[in-house]
Amino acid sequence: MAEDNPLISMDLQQVLEDEGAMVFPASSVTQALRLAQTPALSAAVIDIKLRTENAEPVCDALSQRQVPFIFYTAYPDSSSKRWSAVPFVSKPAPDSVIIGALKYALSANKHDILSPLAEPGRDPSLIAIDQRIVDGEERIARITRVIARLQVGGFDMSAAEALHATMTKTLNRMRDYQRLLASEKWRAPTRYSRKPLNAVTLTVRTPSSAAPRS
């Protein structure tokens, strides 16, 4: 747990311990980086701003170990697009929302948490866009199943549902881009290469060269 506010840290630690978790608190990036190497670490709660530092290095360290995490922060715009698939909980939030987000992070495919949301990208080919759309559809389908299963268990899935909505919007933007790209390729004129004409010798028969009639 990376949180620099002592009161929030104490409350959050109590909430997590009541759920049966063993909590390793950190109030700085240096402490969090050290704790990120803890062998027993299964998940993390990160405030993206720790004192005057950005917790991005902590996210990197957790991602390298394939440890899922959630953001619990008052700075929604401070995290980079690399963590666009990480559940985000805005301070302050009910305990149920924090626990639900953590439960989702622990239950979902790690790739679906730690890999950024797919964007159209720089490759303008239809094949590349088609593949991103297929990957996005499969990812959303997996997330939908996780959310449904946890909702049956009574967990608050508001953070996961917000992430699901963001992913759906991103997928729809890629579909729009795909249609636009296909339309532009359809309208583009077909260009044919012009090959130089070979010289052709024509033989012209004149009356004097014509065969005599019998």
Lowest mean pLDDT segment, chosen from 47-51, 160-164, 181-185: 181-185
Domain locations in the chain as residue ranges: 6-187
What band does 67 get if pLDDT is binned at 50, 70 and 90?
very high
pLDDT band, residue 202 (cuts 50/70/90): very low
Please give the residue that has the higher pLDDT: either 45 or 173.
Answer: 45
pLDDT in tens, 112-121: 999 887 665 5
For the domain spanning 6-187, the CATH number is 3.40.50.2300
Mean pLDDT, residues 167-185: 84
> How many residues comprise the chain?
214
Average pLDDT, the chain: 85
The pair of three-digit structure tokens given for residue 211, joined into one six-digit string? 């065969």
Give the torsion through C-alpha atoms of 200, 204, 209, 210, to 10 deg: 110
Instruction: Identify whether the C-beta of residue 108 lies closer than 8 Å to the C-beta of residue 92.
Output: no
pLDDT at res. 32: 97
Q: Measured between alpha carbons, how far is 43 from 46 in angstroms, rounded to an integer?
A: 10
Q: Are 41 and 35 in contact (CB under 8 A)?
A: yes
Question: What's the average model confidence in pLDDT over 73-79?
Answer: 76
**179 confidence band (pLDDT: 50, 70, 90):** confident
> How far is the C-alpha of 81 from the C-alpha of 107, rounded, in Å?
22
pTM over 0.95: no
Interatomic CA distance for residues 171 and 198, integer angstroms: 53
Supply 151's token pair. Answer: 């909702």
